[in-house]
């Protein structure tokens, strides 16, 4: 059983209350810049055991009758077909996926804003796709002198040139399929137009991390830095908050560096000082819902080490530069962490060296480590998975889940139809074989019914496994790291 250190039900209650409180601060209309993933926030669920991956969408559903959503996407990201590394799909496709999922839940989609658009970027394909879905599209072009020339920005030649997006709900969530999509600029543009129309709307920022009222060296906040190490986001003490309230608060470098400009833009639009610090703009209520500090600390430190291994493998595959690895290592050093603290990695690597074969080890949620080795028939991932589900289901080790006859038949078919030099069954193939055999074999059916017990387990491979197996483990909820060896 996974240990719980976070109360999701309490979180949904007090987080929605905080947003309602912020709406009431203004003319009963709030533009909420919504960062991070709306769906499938697995980073948060790993770092805060008990945080449900769908908490954010549950939160939005509580406001469904008073909510509409504006999406932003950078014109250049459309042109370049920028890919989300976690999903392996373009920002454009992720945008459409999010729109459809929210619509299925009955959440109103107001429109999509194409930000930073210039005529060189071709957006006609996305325009057609949005038309098919009856979603309005607006275009925001770059503003000369942005963000320094505030007099120009907050004028008819600045935000005034952007089309006014008519909204009817009291909560307008402005979100995006990825970072640097122009969410903040869209919120401010809308505020400008609302004030011109006599509506004193407000602005606030929703981010899960960093957690402003945890310490700078709290593992939860360092885990956030580790997750964004490729972006070089750095957590800092918010000097504006400290000066205004005498209170230490954690924010990140980009919000802190841009706050003086944002503060002046808001002052120019509204005629009054709304916020004294970037931290004050946020509505984060994470800390209040942590129920067990030790469990959360352990989960966050595990995540920091996993992120370091990920950086090593990305560097090995030329996906990132060496400085990313150096920054990830520096974050580990802050908490005196080491790769040797990952017990499952030690076991996998030692057995691989001892047997001179690829190995994968899985640490079950009860602490027991199960291993699997690569053979002519099975990949080490497949072998470890089969051994693990036999363990959690109580099936004796000598019993086969997949008979040698079935495995040999699939192996021979792969020999005839594949051009690869290795014909062993990978994890997706094993899962398909198990699903088919479960129809007539109650033991396999029982084993597959227990797969949820693998969610949250840690695993380590002695080499960088192929993408199909990586995705299969991710879908099973297993937290994998790999040794940076091809």
pLDDT digits (tens, 9 = 90+) for 451-479: 999 999 999 999 999 999 999 999 999 99
Nearest to 142 by CA among 103, 189, 105, 91: 189
Mean pLDDT along residues 211-215 = 97
Q: Which CATH number do you get for residue 386? A: 3.40.140.40
pLDDT at 234 over 60: yes
Residue 368 contacts residue 344 (beta carbons within 8 Å): no
Domain-located, residue 234? no
Say if 327 falls within a structural domain: no
**347 & 204 share domain:** no
Q: Comparing 119-133, 300-314, 338-352, 444-458, which segment has the lowest mean pLDDT?
A: 119-133
Cα angle: 467, vertex 470, 476; to 5 degrees: 145
The verdict on residue 262 lying in a domain is no
Pairing of strands 202-206, 67-74: unpaired
The answer to whether residue 233 scores a pLDDT higher than 90 is no
Answer yes or no: is pLDDT of 430 > 60.
Answer: yes
From 208, 241, 259, give the residue that closes a domain: 208
pLDDT at 383: 95
Confidence bin at 85 (pLDDT 50/70/90): low
Q: 427, 382 in Cβ contact below 8 A? A: yes
pLDDT of res. 271:
94
Q: How far apart are CA 41 and CA 51, in angstroms?
A: 9
Question: What's the half-sphere exposure (Cβ side, CA atoms, 13 Å) at 235?
Answer: 25
Greatest distance between any 2 Cα atoms in the chain:
78
Residue 381 lies in a domain: yes
Q: What pLDDT sits at residue 242?
A: 98
Cis amide linkage into residue 147, ω under 30° from 0? yes
In this predicted structure, what is the pLDDT of residue 421? Answer: 57
Written as six digits, the tokens of 158 are 């600045």
Q: Cα separation of 130 and 136, whole Å?
A: 7
pLDDT at residue number 161: 96
Structural domains counted in the chain: 2
**Segment 135-151, tens digit of pLDDT:** 999 999 999 888 889 99
In a domain, 101, yes or no: yes
Whether residue 3 contacts residue 292, with contact meaning beta carbons closer than 8 Å, is answered with: yes
Please check whether residue 8 is in contact with residue 50, taking contact to mean a CB–CB distance below 8 angstroms. Answer: yes
In a domain, 253, yes or no: no
Query: Which among 385, 335, 333, 338 has a CA at the least distance from the CA of 364?
Result: 385
Least confident of 42-51, 115-124, 300-309: 115-124
What is the reported pLDDT for 51?
97
Residue 126 pLDDT grade (very low, low, confident, very high; cuts 50, 70, 90): very high
Q: List Cα–Cα distances, 465 to 310, 403, 468, 486, in angstroms.
A: 12, 25, 8, 8
- The whole-number pLDDT of residue 77 equals 83
> From residue 263, how far is each of 197, 375, 410, 471 by CA, in Å?
21, 62, 64, 43
Backbone φ and ψ for 127, nearest 5 degrees, come out as -55, -45
pLDDT score, position 86? 52
Please check the confidence at residue 82 and state whether its pLDDT lies above 80.
no
Cα–Cα distance for residue pair 427/372, rounded to 1 Å: 12
Q: How many CB atoms lie within 10 A of CB 121?
A: 15
Domain membership of residue 47 as a residue range: 8-208
Q: What is the mean pLDDT of residues 260-266?
A: 95
Is 216 within 8 Å of 237 (Cβ atoms)?
Answer: yes
Contact predicate 216/250, CB 8 Å: yes
User: What's the CATH code of the domain at 47?
Assistant: 3.10.630.10
> What is the overall mean pLDDT for the chain?
93
| Residue 483 confidence class, pLDDT cut points 50, 70, 90 | very high
The pair phi, psi for residue 112, each rounded to 5°, is -120, 135
pLDDT reported for residue 466 = 93
Q: How far is CA 380 from CA 166, 316, 404, in A?
A: 56, 21, 16
- pLDDT value, residue 2: 65
Model confidence at 81, pLDDT cuts 50, 70, 90, reads: low
Put residue 155 in one of left, alpha, beta given phi > 0 → left and psi -120 to 50 → alpha: beta
337-361 average pLDDT score = 97
3-state secondary structure 54-93: CHHHHHHHCCHHHEEEEEEEEHHHHHCCCEECCCCEEHHH
Of 208, 239, 262, which marks where a domain is finished? Answer: 208
Among candidate residues 176, 191, 208, the one where a domain is terminated: 208
* Cβ pair 370, 364 in contact under 8 A: yes
> Which tokens hold the place of 382?
């497949």
The verdict on residue 287 lying in a domain is no
Contact between residue 177 and residue 170 where contact means Cβ atoms under 8 Å apart: no
For 183-209, write each residue's pLDDT tens digit.
999 999 999 999 999 999 999 999 999
Contact 117, 75 (CB under 8 A): yes
What six digits make up the tokens of 159?
A: 């935000």
- Per-residue confidence (pLDDT) for residue 420, from 0 to 100: 61
Is residue 265 scored above 70 in pLDDT?
Answer: yes
**Is residue 237 a part of any domain in this protein?**
no
């Amino acid at each position: 059983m996974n240990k719980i250190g976070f109360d999701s039900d309490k979180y949904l209650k007090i987080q929605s209350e905080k947003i309602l409180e912020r709406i009431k601060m203004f003319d009963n209309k709030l533009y909420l810049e919504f960062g991070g993933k709306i769906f499938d926030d697995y980073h948060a669920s790993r770092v805060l055991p008990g945080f449900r991956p769908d908490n954010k969408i549950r939160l939005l559903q509580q406001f469904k009758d008073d909510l509409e959503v504006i999406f932003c996407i950078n014109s250049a990201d459309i042109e370049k077909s920028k890919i989300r590394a976690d999903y392996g799909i373009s920002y454009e496709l992720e945008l459409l996926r999010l729109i459809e999922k929210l619509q299925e839940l009955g959440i109103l989609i107001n429109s999509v804003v194409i930000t930073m658009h210039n005529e060189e970027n071709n957006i006609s394909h996305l325009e057609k796709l949005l038309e098919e879905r009856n979603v309005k599209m607006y275009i925001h072009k770059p503003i000369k002198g942005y963000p320094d020339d505030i007099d120009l920005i907050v004028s008819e030649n600045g935000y005034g040139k952007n089309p006014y997006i008519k909204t009817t709900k009291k909560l307008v969530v402005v979100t995006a399929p990825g970072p640097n999509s122009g969410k903040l600029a869209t919120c401010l543009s809308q505020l400008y137009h609302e004030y011109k129309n006599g509506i004193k709307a407000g602005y606030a920022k929703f981010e899960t991390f960093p957690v402003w009222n945890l310490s700078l060296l709290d593992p939860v906040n360092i885990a956030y830095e580790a997750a964004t190490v490729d972006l070089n986001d750095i957590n800092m003490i918010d000097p504006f908050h400290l000066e205004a309230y005498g209170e230490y608060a954690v924010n990140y470098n980009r919000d802190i560096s841009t706050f003086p400009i944002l503060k002046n833009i808001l002052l120019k639009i509204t005629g009054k000082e709304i916020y004294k610090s970037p931290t004050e703009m946020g509505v984060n209520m994470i800390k209040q819902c942590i129920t067990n500090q030790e469990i959360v600390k352990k989960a966050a430190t595990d995540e920091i080490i996993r992120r370091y291994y990920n950086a090593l493998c990305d560097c090995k595959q030329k996906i990132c530069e060496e400085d990313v690895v150096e920054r990830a290592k520096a974050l580990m050093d802050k908490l005196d962490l080491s790769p040797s603290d990952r017990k499952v990695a030690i076991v996998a690597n030692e057995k691989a060296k001892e047997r001179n074969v690829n190995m994968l080890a899985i640490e079950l949620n009860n602490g027991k480590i199960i291993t699997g080795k690569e053979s002519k028939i099975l990949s080490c991932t497949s072998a470890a998975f089969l051994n693990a589900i036999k363990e959690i289901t109580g099936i004796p080790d000598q019993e086969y889940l997949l008979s040698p006859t079935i495995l040999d038949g699939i192996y021979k078919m792969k020999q005839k139809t594949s051009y690869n030099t290795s014909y062993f069954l990978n994890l997706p193939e094993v899962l398909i074989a198990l699903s088919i055999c479960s129809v007539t074999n109650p033991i396999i059916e029982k084993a597959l019914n227990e797969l949820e017990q693998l969610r949250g387990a840690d695993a380590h491979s002695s080499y960088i496994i192929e993408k199909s197996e990586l995705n299969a483990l991710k879908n099973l909820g297993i937290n994998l790291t790999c040794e940076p060896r091809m």
